[in-house]
Structure 1
Amino acid sequence: MARVRYGARTEREIAATRTASTRLPGIWSTATVAVWETAPDAVAAVLPPPLKPTGSPLVRVTVSKVDLPGHPLGAGSVAVAAVHGTVEGWYPLVMPMTSERALTGGREVFGEPKKLGEVTVERDGLVVRASMARHGIAFVEIRGTVSGELPLPEPASKTDFYFKCLPAVNGSGFDADPVLVHCVRRETARRLERITGEVVLRESVYDPVADLPVLRLRDITFGEKTSDQSGRVVERVEAQALLPYLHQRYDDPLQVLDAPPEGGR
């Protein structure tokens, strides 16, 4: 009988899949990164406990084009600075991805708040434009011109905080207590340039990053980097404490009844 592909895999096949999913050697991405200061109250409002604001109310947007062989990937992230205990890092609010594979792997394994979307990174000479869009709205756009090269930073690590959870079958709460994940990314850059430009935030009821206004733009950079990541569960989280923030991960179905934003996009 021919092999039934939905049948059980062998231990060897399972081990090979696990190894491949945690190591992507030689994968480089082209990324536009913008960091700005926003309203402290806005950052505090979006952080589920036990995360807390840092001393700086920062937002970090990363818009990347990942050079996966045969399957280029657009990957975005909008995150706010946060601290858990003594560990400082970033709490992503939304992470648009252009492929289903990137979405399901990150969300189900690490708890990343990934959603399918459109992610664009373009460069024409010295002009750079990067954007993230969903439901026809480019809710974040970075645009500017290259104004000079920057020295390459030393390889460094940064921590992202994720909540891994599973909504309950009956639609109320969770099937089990959520867990807080620390995901450590080790990044190496081979090119880095300064961008003189601006960040445009557009109203979207599905991705309301416009609630984190650009009060002071710290910097915009354009570069090429490679990274790997590893995650670990650091603690269980009280379900009732996380439940009011669950809409960050999913588009609220009731939002289809909302009126369109005034003034258009």
Structure 2
Amino acid sequence: MARARVRYGARTEQEIAATRTASARFPEIWSTGVVAVWETDPDAVAAVLPPPLKPAGHPLVRVNISKVDLPGYPLGAGSFAVFAAHGTVEGWYPLVMPMTHERALTGGREVFGEPKKLGEVTVERDGLAVRASLARHGIAFVEVRGTAVGYLPVPEPARRTDFYFKFLPAVDGSGFDTDPVLVHCVRHEKVRRLEGVTGDVVLRESPYDPVADLPVLRLREITVGEKTSDQSGRVVERVDAQALLPYVHQRYDDPLQAHDAPPEGS
């Protein structure tokens, strides 16, 4: 009697190579998304950046809320990021990246160090009315709403850099198991449709996603459009573990955050 394959057993070299080949041939995947960019408190931006990242030329926040046309099932994907610099390289440092499926978390977190978390992502269009939101723990902590006001020129393909910290918390709960590293993730984006939106951004208080600490002081733009992108990452340097430790709570739902007071004046 033939023995059934034990699927948790070791894969052959041919099977491993086939997986790599299939990943390399992944087709273009288009998403429909809402992007909002605003100027915020420069001290707040500086406060959330772990070294060696520093504030860039302008204290900007960028929120991207998208529905991705993955084969078989749609994916909701979001990012809340601040503008930052590493040496001469400018890019975006995401504080939280809600995803609607576990499958979207694993590769990004384990390979690149992306701060992905399971959440609810909504992108709605009713005629000219546009609404998009990011929610976790029953709180829509970011909501973008407005009215589409006309098509914009389709931009040329662009290159964008995101900064991530990749690390493993120590087994004994103190520090890290290995030195953390800073990753530059480069994305090449293509846009096929883009519309301007007149509206606003609402940030709601959440103890687990405290984005309200980065208020909308001046809204620069809201757009809705369709785009596709690829990405590749590389480790650019090892970072000081003790300098990164005070920021590790950004990655996790620290229960102590439930006792944090809202920012003064909110």
Q: TM-score if structure 1 supplies the norm length?
A: 0.96
Name the counterpart of 1:132. Answer: 134
1:234 aligns with 2:236: yes
Q: Is the 8 A contact 1:35 1:219 kept in 2?
A: yes
Structure 1 spans left out of the alignment, 5+ residues = none
Letter in 2 for 1:153: P
Aligned equivalents of 2:36 and 2:228: distance in 1?
18
Aligned equivalents of 1:260 and 1:86: distance in 2?
36
Letter in 2 for 1:138: A
For residue 73 of structure 1, report the CA deviation from its aligned partner: 0.3
Name the counterpart of 2:156. Answer: 154
Name the counterpart of 1:27. Answer: 29
For residue 30 of structure 1, report the CA deviation from its aligned partner: 0.3
Name the counterpart of 1:143. Answer: 145
Name the counterpart of 1:78. Answer: 80
Letter in 1 for 2:30: W
Q: Is the 8 A contact 1:30 1:225 kept in 2?
A: yes
For residue 208 of structure 1, report the CA deviation from its aligned partner: 0.3
For residue 261 of structure 1, report the CA deviation from its aligned partner: 6.7
Aligned equivalents of 2:26 and 2:220: distance in 1?
31
Aligned residue runs from structure 1 range 196-207, under 5 A: 196-207=198-209
Aligned equivalents of 1:67 and 1:180: distance in 2?
30
Q: Is the 8 A contact 1:24 1:228 kept in 2?
A: no
For residue 105 of structure 1, report the CA deviation from its aligned partner: 1.1
* Deviation sequence 1:107-132 (CA, Å, 0-9, x none): 00000000000001010110000000
SS of the equivalent of 1:64 reads strand
* Deviation sequence 1:145-188 (CA, Å, 0-9, x none): 10010000000110000000000000000001100000000000
Name the counterpart of 1:105. Answer: 107
Identity of aligned residues (%): 83
Q: 1:193 aligns with which of 192, 195, 203?
A: 195
**Residue 242 to residue 259, structure 1, CA distance change in 2 (3 Å):** closer
SS of the equivalent of 2:242 reads helix
Aligned equivalents of 1:193 and 1:31: distance in 2?
11
Name the counterpart of 1:170. Answer: 172
Aligned equivalents of 1:43 and 1:261: distance in 2?
17
**Residue 23 to residue 56, structure 1, CA distance change in 2 (3 Å):** farther
Aligned equivalents of 1:62 and 1:135: distance in 2?
20
Q: TM-score if structure 2 supplies the norm length?
A: 0.95
Residue correspondences, number = 261
Aligned equivalents of 2:25 and 2:162: distance in 1?
18
**Residue 133 to residue 23, structure 1, CA distance change in 2 (3 Å):** farther
For residue 13 of structure 1, report the CA deviation from its aligned partner: 1.6
More divergent stretch after superposition (55-64 vs 5-14): 5-14
**Residue 222 to residue 253, structure 1, CA distance change in 2 (3 Å):** same
Structure 2 spans left out of the alignment, 5+ residues = none
For residue 24 of structure 1, report the CA deviation from its aligned partner: 3.0
1:247 aligns with 2:237: no
SS of the equivalent of 2:54 reads coil
Aligned equivalents of 1:254 and 1:139: distance in 2?
18
For residue 19 of structure 1, report the CA deviation from its aligned partner: 3.6
Q: CA RMSD in A?
A: 1.4
Q: Is the 8 A contact 2:207 2:260 kept in 1?
A: no
Letter in 2 for 1:137: I
